[in-house]
Structure formats: structure tokens, C-alpha cells
Structure 1
Amino acid sequence: MPTINFILTIFCTALLLSCQDSEKKVTNNQNPQRPNIIFMMSDDHAYQAISAYNDELITTPNIDRIADEGILFTNASVTNSICAPSRAVILTGKHSHLNGKIDNLSDFDTTNVTFPQLLQEAGYQTAMFGKLHFGNNPKGFDKFMILPGQGDYYNPKFITQKGDTVINGYVTDIITDLTLNWLEKERDKGKPFLLMYLHKAPHRAWLPAERHYKEFTKKTFPLPETLFDDYVRIHPKDLKPESAELRSGHGNLTPPKNGISTAAKSAEMNILTHMILTNDNKLKDSVVKKLGIEERYLGDPTRGMNEQQKAAWDAVYNPINEEFTEKYPGMDSKDLMEWKYQRYMQDYLGTIAAVDENVGRVLNYLDENDLTENTIVVYTSDQGFYLGEHGWFDKRFMYDESFKTPLLIRWPNQIKEGITEEEMVQNLDFAQTFLEAAGVKAPDEMQGKSLIPLLKGENKAWDREAVYYHYYEYPAEHAVKRHYGIATKDYKLIHFYYDIDEWELYDRKNDPREMHNVFYDPDYAEVRQEMVQKLKEVREKYKDSEELDKQFIKVYEEK
């Protein structure tokens, strides 16, 4: 019969092994109190091109999975719809006028404190792979491999701590390969991690992978209702006289000539007149010249391909060139607009197909390696993009397709699956969200709001009525005029300034396509008054002002 001492020995040994096993489980799960964070961001990915938002153009099952297992934000927006400034806002948690990165041309002030630096100091292992767009030595990262500037779709160069390197292949696949290699072989599995997984796609000039352009060049897509927009925004009834009391103090009440939005009409991003047949629509320069078409030439977009890649490309795109050569003499402007739109969609959406596949690869890795449960996964874009709405491509405006951005977040056991959230949130909020999730105090200078209450369903704690937007890069590419404004769930107020002084007010619920500027409509006089006052208050809250506007204009003009 076993003695009491023997039984106690067995019991204590079992208890010790059990404690060691529990400790291992905590280590393997990266400490449940400190979640891992994977920030997935693509470049210029329109929310209209994610099937969780709209399934008319493309199906994105892997990106959708994040929403299906988490939360889908329908009122997420950016503070400044252009690549580098958007990224600076995300990293610093401060509006452009405070972090200093107001446009793609200005330098990023490296004295700014970024949330990756704070997480790194708090014990997180940090890595960045893909497109940063500015700087070649991002602060706060243990490992980075980033594209120089825009980077290339085929055989891209990467900047690393050890110098530049060229990797052969397709950029979206390569960024994912680097990411998965770091997760599998390079990270310290005893630490929580921040991983910034940043795609170049679907940025212009939209070169899909071979497996996708063979498929997508055969597709036809529905035309947007506003493809042939004439930019008339004010109806005759809006110009009725109104009382002096209502006119007082509400901005410039002289409507633009003929009811046309000067800013919308003068922008240089129309698919018919500004999209380039060679660089954007993939016609050969020789074909364009043969047809007598005069336009800017930005060089052969396929020049980075090797012989094998170029041969595969030409096998598909040469017939497209031949078909256009035959059709062009009989085309009118409507025919040409529709042809260019289809070519645009085929290549743009083709690049997104690769993004979706690769997001799936990362999600599968998390599942297969017991990392899903304690990892926050975010999918977003640095801004929205026009897919033919108002006749446009590109972004920059505060109109919805550019201003709104996709935002899908998964955090198992914290976010209830399949939630749709309509609260007003911005890319300004990411820094404070990640810091709170990690238990790190955010600096007082950060201007966003942590999304944690919304992620946990505590909507009553969310008190933001309006978000603020400011675009600066003018005069410049695409000629989108300087403007700032606010948006609530119901209305949007925009002030275009610098070389014009025009105001636009949109009823977001009754006019979702933003075709009717009601700023001059007497029926909206009270709304206008409230929104103008709210804009003033929001500008003060975020420390923006006319004085700063003048300073940035002066600096811009001196460059």
C-alpha cells in the first residue's frame, strides 16, 4: 500500500506539472492581457470594392471574413485623403496640421511620437512589411522591409535595415511571404507583437498578377449612375431670396455660376479626359501615336517585368490593343468613356483579387498556429477611391467615395461576431485604440478616440457627433482644390478656399450620391447655421485655424 509521503509526492509532482503546462499555454497564447495586433492596410482600396460593403463589382471572401467574425464600420473616414498624410495621421494620432505631414511633398517630422514606438517601449515586438510611402527608417520597428515611395508591382525593391534588396515576383505575394516568414521564423514567440502588413495594391497604375489579369480582362462591370456627371449641384429653387437674419454669418452665400461646383468641375481626374491610355489603360505608346491621340506619356508601366513576365502580359494585352485600334475610329466620347472605365475596373479589381487571396493566407496562418484568439486583426485602406462615380478615378475630395474608407476589425472574445457599426470613426483613432488594447497610456497630444468601447458594444460611451477633414495639396496633381469640412451622420459641410470661396452642404441620408448642394437652399437654412457653427467649434477643438491655413499656403508656394 502506498505511504502518505508517496501520495503527497505524486500529488505535488502532478500539481507542478499542471502549473508548468498552464504557464506554457499562457506563453504560447502571447499573454491574454496583451493582444497581438495585425494592422492590414491596402493603398487606395475603395470600400465599394469589398463585397462586405458591395458585391456588385468583386467578391472578397477573405477580407469579408474579418467582418463576419468581427465588426464592419460603415461610417469610417479619413482626415486627409492622400497617401502619405493619411499614414502620418495613423501613426501619430494627430491631424495633418499638427503632425506636419499635410501633403505628399512635405517631409515627415520625425520628432513626432508614433504608436509603434510606444508599443515597442512597452515590450511589443514590432515589424512592418510593404508600403509606408515616406521615410526609409521608420521609428519603432524591430524589423522592416518597405517599398521606396510607391514601389513596383513586379520585381520590387525593398528598403531594409541592412540596405536595399530586389525580390523577384509579384509585390502583393512578396509582402505576404515576408510577413509570414517573420511570423514563423523571426518573431520572439514569448512577446506580444505589432505587425503592420501594408499593401501597395490597388494603387495606380494597377498591374494585376498573371493569374488575375487573364481572368479580369474578360469581365464587364456595371456603370456607375453618376459616370457622366455634369457637376451641376444647385437647383433653381435653391436660389429663392431669404431673410437677412438667415444670411448673416453663414459663410459666402453667393452661389457659384450656373449652379456648377467649381471644385468638382475643375478637378483633373475624369476618366474620359484625364485617365492616360498608356499608363492607366495599358495601350502601347506606338498604338496611341498611330491613332493620332495626344496625351501625357508616363512611360511603360510594365518596364519592371522580366522577359517571362512580359511575354505572359503581352499574350493577354496585345489583343486588347489590337481590338482598340479597330474600334477607336468609330468611337464617340461616350463609347471611349465606357471603354476606359471597363479597362480601369478590370485592372484595378484584378489587383484587389491578389490582396484578398493574401489576406486569406495570413488569416489561415493565425488559425493554424493558435494565434487567432488573442490577435486583433484590422483591415483598412489609407483612404477611399473613385471607381467612376462622378466620372472620376483617384481620391482627395471630401465626397464619400474618397472620404470614407473600409474598416473591418476582428478580436475574438472581445467583439461580438457580425456587428455593423454606424458611428463616426476615423483613421485618427487607430493609435489610441491600439495603445488602450495593449494597456499603454496614450500621449495627451493625440487627438483621436479609442475604438475599444465600440468594439465591446458600449456605444453609449461614444459621444462624437462630427468628424473633421482637411485637404491641402493644391495646386498639384489632379487639381483638387484646398478644402476643409465636417461630417455628421446626417450632413456634410465643405468649404473650398485658397483661390475660390465656395461652400457645399449635403444631406447624407436623402442624397447619398452627393448630387445636390443645399447650402443655398432656404429649406436648409437652419441646418446650414448649425453646421457652420459646429465646423467652427470642431476647428477650434482640433486646433486648426485660418492662420495655420495661411502658413501652410505660404510654405507651399515657396517650394
Structure 2
Amino acid sequence: MSSIRIVSFLILFASASTFTIFAQSPSPKKRPNIVYIMSDDHGYQAISAYGYGLNQTPNIDRLAKEGLLFTRATVTNSLCAPSRAVLLTGKHSYINGKIDNEAKFDWRQDNFAKILQAHGYQTALIGKIHMDGRPAGFDHSAVLIDQGEYYNPNFIINGKKQQLQGYVSDLTTDMVLDWIDNRDKEKPFCVLYHQKAPHREWLPALRHIAKYTQMKFPEPATLFDNFEGRGTAAKTAEMNILKHMNWAGDNKIPPAMMDELGLKEYMNWDKAAYTNNLGRMSAQERAQWDSVYQPIMEDFKAAYPNMSQQELMQWRFQRYMQDYLGTVAAVDDGVGKLLDYLQANGLEENTIVIYTSDQGFYLGEHGWFDKRFMYEESLRTPLLIKYPKEIAAGISSSALVQNLDFAPTLLDYAGVAAPKDMQGQSFRKLAAGTDSTWRDAAYYTYYEYPGIHMAKRHYGIRTDRYKLIHFYYDVDEWELYDLERDPQELKNVYDDPAYANVKSEMQQKLEKVRKEYKDSDANDQKFLPENKINRQAKN
């Protein structure tokens, strides 16, 4: 048994006496187990089942081959912590209070894990949660601190800080399998298996660095987007790969080499990120890392003085993709390990396995990295689900499901009624193919402005064909996109006379949706930066 397995087993054994036993239904074994896998910033373009040709994810693809792939799943707020709060509560950010990464999350409010726990499920949260406070609703928790670290990371395990030796994606996977292995076999379980990767600053596992740093990836058609035909928001955002990505922390150029070449920090934590992230490695790990990355950086040092801005952008894009997709590889390894475990232990038929991300991510589209916007690459998230008892193999759905729907869906599978104040809806029947009725518009809000990357505040709706966005606060601008004719969202047709009827219909639909979800201009005002002190005082 590995050291991780020993530690996890001892923790579970020591805390077993504190677990609360709840009344169960007459046949708990018939209720499905739930494994909810959420990675961080994993764009759907970086899953080979979606057909973009960037990389290969054979294990995540197994979920598509053996279950259901959603092609237009979306989030309600494309930001890490708010997305997790929506997952837990089944409520929009302005209702659960976690509007951005800075706002506090109140663990006293209800969440689906608490409800499952109260109905006889044993529950665990393992990996990244990115919210302060001890997670409530879980018999066992082993969570990363804040964003977490890739190498030899610190975890808070049932309230106690502990540094574990190894690579974060592998450690998270092993702890999930240990917990499942040592669970009460007479009770159904639900485990939230949350990977840190592929979140910035993208340090792949050592077993993957030699391969991925030698790969060359296709450039998106909009890598050099000039944003003509769009408004202020896209033009002023600070997430351009050439202009705003960190040299050391992101591209792995050593700080001393930055100084030699006269490269300036864009963010004041650039060099510190490099030093701290690589400083966590053992001497042996660092030597292996340097043996691969040093020659790359020496080649760059020699080429840099004669590189054009276009060549520099292309170089930075490749460096970004190599490390980003390199971290995805270990996530895929973990999914394979989990699926093999479930199969080997007779758990496959009665276990729901979901794979998703907390939001989408820009992989060079529009010249960007990061997320935040309501544009497609950020709004859409991967979603694959396997449950042999109810879901046919190898099917897909274009329904506009959202992360808002996870809580009521998981409760539905467990045979538990969702609270009436949850705003999402169960997609269980949709997944089973027994009912095709679904929402015709997905609603979105974003609040973290001013802030890092400077994506302006906005809200909007996406329908089957169109998208309407309202940017507000320091601007008052509207954007309308015809996703059928303009899937890359390059032309705002809000003021195009040919779309006058569409604009009117979309505005009416937006107002209707806002009313249904209990959102309003008053909420927008409440969450403005100048009202932050008053809001905190009220809380």
C-alpha cells in the first residue's frame, strides 16, 4: 500500500466514529454511487471526443463512448469559485452570494452534499474547492489550499494541514480511490473528485514533459484577432497571450534569463510564481525538469533578439499549449485509473460518472488565455456522463444544460427531492432519452470587474442560435451574435437592421429569464465595487 493510501486509511479509520448515521431507504444498495469529476479550466477543445484535434484524451473519451456527451453545456458564471458554489447550491451567484473569487462563501447554506448525507449517502470532497472555510456536507474532505500546487502540494485533510509528496493530479486520484476502497460498503457514496489541473501556471507531470514540449499544436484561426466589429469589452480585456501572459510563471523562462533579455514582469508575481512553483520540487525532480526545459529556454534566448511580434506570439502560444495540454494528460490518466478501478471492483454498473470543468477556457482563440467572458470558449464547458443503467452508450445531446443543474440532477438520481429554491433542473430524463423537454435559453452573469484580466461586467442569454450580451457598469453596450452564421463571434449584429426582430425577441426573452431567475438591475447595483463595504457589513 502506498504512503498516500496508508495516510488516507488512517484518517478514515480515526474519524469513522464521528460519522453521523442517518436513516436510509429500504434498499440503499440500489441507489447509485456518484463520482463527480471536475477539472479546473479544462476547455472542451482539449478533449479529443469533441473533435478539435489538439490532443488525445483516451480515458475521458471512454465516457463519451460508453455514455453521453453534451455538446453545448454551459456555466452561469465563468470563474472558478463561483462555478463551484453554483454546483453545490444549484443557485445562481447572486443568490448563493459567491459572485466572484473574493466574495466569501457561506457554508451554512444548504448544498446537495448535505442533503445526500442526510439521506444515507457517505460523501467526500477531494481536491480543489477554492473556497474558504471547512467544507460542509462531507464525511471526509482533503482539499487544496486556495489554488493549490502542482508538486508536493499542501492539503487540508479533515481540517488538518499536511504536505504530500508527489504530483497533485496523481495524489488527488489516489486519495479518491483510497476513500472509495475504504468506504462503508453497505451505503451508497458520492465523491467530488476535483483536479487542480489544468489551471495556471501549468506544470505537467515529469512523465509527460519530454513528449509535450516537443509537440507543435495547430493555431486557432483567430489567434491574431483585431476585434473589429465588436465593442469595448473584448478590445480592452487583458488576457492576450503575447501582451499579458507571464514570462517566467507561465512560459517557464527563468527570472535571470528574463533580466538578461530585458523582459519585464506583466504581473508582479510572475518571477515569484516560477521560483515558488519549481522550488517545491525535490532535487531529483528539478534536475529532470531542467534537463527538458533548459535547452528550450537556451534556444529561445538565442532566437529572441531577431523574433518579430508575430513569431513571438506563435512561440508563446506553443509554450502555453505544451504545458497546458501536458497537465491535461495526467488528468486523463486519473480518469482511466478510476474507470478501471470501478470496473475491477464491480462498481461500474451502479455508479454515475460525470466529467466536467468549472468553466471553459481560451486556448488561443481571439489571442486569449483565461475565461470570464460569455463568448463560447469560456461559456461552454465539457460535460460527459456515464451510467449504464439508464444512459445509452455513444450518444450526444445539444441541450443547453448548465452547472446550475448538477445539484438537482444528482439528487434526482439519488431519489431525493430537490429543495424548491434550487434554480436548476434535473437533466436525468434528458440523459435517459425519455423526455426531450428543456430550457430554450441559458442565463449568464459575470461580476469580477475591475479585476485581473479586466473582463467587464455583463449578463446575457444564449439560445439555440443567438446570443445577447449586455456589458454594464463603466459602459453600456449590447452585443448580439448569430452563432449559426458566425460561430467564432466576430461580428456584433446588435445594430444591424436585418436583425431588428431577432434583437427585440432576444431582449424580451432576456427580461423574462431574468425575472424567472430572480435577477434584476437592483442585483447588479448591489454587487458593484462601490457597494462592497456596505454589502459585507450586511452579511
Using the size of structure 1 for normalisation, the TM-score is 0.89
Residues in 1 aligned to 2:223 and 2:480: alpha-carbon distance in whole angstroms? 21
Aligned residue number for residue 229 of structure 1: 225
Aligned residue number for residue 63 of structure 1: 60
Larger deviation, residues 284-293 vs 490-499: 284-293
Residues in 2 aligned to 1:542 and 1:216: alpha-carbon distance in whole angstroms? 44
Aligned residue number for residue 50 of structure 1: 47
Residues in 1 aligned to 2:382 and 2:187: alpha-carbon distance in whole angstroms? 30
Shift of 1:162: 4.8
| 1:265 and 2:235 are equivalent in the alignment | yes
| 1:313 and 2:289 are equivalent in the alignment | yes
Amino acid at match of 1:344: Y
| 1:218 and 2:214 are equivalent in the alignment | yes
Aligned residue number for residue 346 of structure 1: 322
Amino acid at match of 2:451: A
User: Helix, strand or coil for the counterpart of 1:506?
Assistant: strand
Match 2:198 to one of 196, 202, 206: 202
Count of equivalent residues: 503
| 1:123 and 2:99 are equivalent in the alignment | no
| 1:512 and 2:482 are equivalent in the alignment | no
User: Helix, strand or coil for the counterpart of 2:443?
Assistant: strand
Amino acid at match of 1:71: L
Aligned residue number for residue 10 of structure 2: none
| 1:96 and 2:93 are equivalent in the alignment | yes
Trace 1:410-489 onto structure 2 (pairs within 5 A): 410-460=386-436, 462-489=437-464
| 1:34 and 2:10 are equivalent in the alignment | no
Larger deviation, residues 220-229 vs 300-309: 300-309
Amino acid at match of 2:186: G
Aligned residue number for residue 493 of structure 1: 468
Match 2:244 to one of 264, 274, 282: 274
Shift of 1:376: 0.4
Amino acid at match of 2:505: E
User: Helix, strand or coil for the counterpart of 1:138?
Assistant: coil
Residues in 2 aligned to 1:114 and 1:504: alpha-carbon distance in whole angstroms? 35
Trace 1:360-375 onto structure 2 (pairs within 5 A): 360-375=336-351
Partners of 2:29 and 2:186 within 8 A in 1 = no
For structure 2, list consecutive stretches of 5 or more residues without a partner in the other structure: 1-23
Aligned residue number for residue 6 of structure 2: none
Match 2:165 to one of 160, 164, 168: 168
Shift of 1:183: 1.3
Shift of 1:349: 0.1
User: Helix, strand or coil for the counterpart of 2:48?
Assistant: coil
Amino acid at match of 2:264: E
Shift of 1:530: 0.2
Residues in 1 aligned to 2:253 and 2:84: alpha-carbon distance in whole angstroms? 32
Shift of 1:295: 2.0
| 1:288 and 2:288 are equivalent in the alignment | no
- 1:327-359 Cα offsets, whole Å, 9 max, x none, are 000011100000000000000000000000110
- 1:200-220 Cα offsets, whole Å, 9 max, x none, are 000000000011111100000
Larger deviation, residues 335-344 vs 315-324: 315-324
Shift of 1:302: 1.1
Amino acid at match of 2:337: R
For structure 1, list consecutive stretches of 5 or more residues without a partner in the other structure: 1-26, 234-259
Shift of 1:131: 0.2
- 1:395-435 Cα offsets, whole Å, 9 max, x none, are 00000000000000000020011111011110000000010
User: Helix, strand or coil for the counterpart of 1:76?
Assistant: coil
Amino acid at match of 1:53: Y
| 1:527 and 2:523 are equivalent in the alignment | no
Using the size of structure 2 for normalisation, the TM-score is 0.92
Trace 1:96-115 onto structure 2 (pairs within 5 A): 96-115=93-112
Partners of 2:134 and 2:159 within 8 A in 1 = no
Partners of 1:136 and 1:159 within 8 A in 2 = no
Match 1:551 to one of 502, 526, 538: 526
User: Helix, strand or coil for the counterpart of 1:144?
Assistant: strand
Partners of 2:399 and 2:438 within 8 A in 1 = no
Partners of 1:281 and 1:343 within 8 A in 2 = yes
Aligned residue number for residue 246 of structure 1: none
Partners of 2:35 and 2:353 within 8 A in 1 = yes
Shift of 1:463: 3.2
Residues in 2 aligned to 1:459 and 1:482: alpha-carbon distance in whole angstroms? 36
Larger deviation, residues 545-554 vs 335-344: 545-554
Shift of 1:521: 0.6
Residues in 2 aligned to 1:455 and 1:463: alpha-carbon distance in whole angstroms? 11
Aligned residue number for residue 154 of structure 2: 157
- 1:70-127 Cα offsets, whole Å, 9 max, x none, are 1000110000000000000000000000000000000002232000000000000001
| 1:385 and 2:361 are equivalent in the alignment | yes
Aligned residue number for residue 134 of structure 1: 131
Shift of 1:136: 3.6
Aligned residue number for residue 299 of structure 2: 323
Residues in 1 aligned to 2:77 and 2:159: alpha-carbon distance in whole angstroms? 33
Larger deviation, residues 291-300 vs 464-473: 291-300
Provide closer, same or farther for how the CA distance between residues 108 and 116 of structure 1 changes in structure 2, counting only shifts above 3 A.
Answer: same
Task: List, as ranges, runs of 4+ consecutive aligned residues in structure 1 with deviation greater than 4 Å.
Answer: none
Partners of 1:73 and 1:420 within 8 A in 2 = yes
Larger radius of gyration: 1
Amino acid at match of 2:475: I
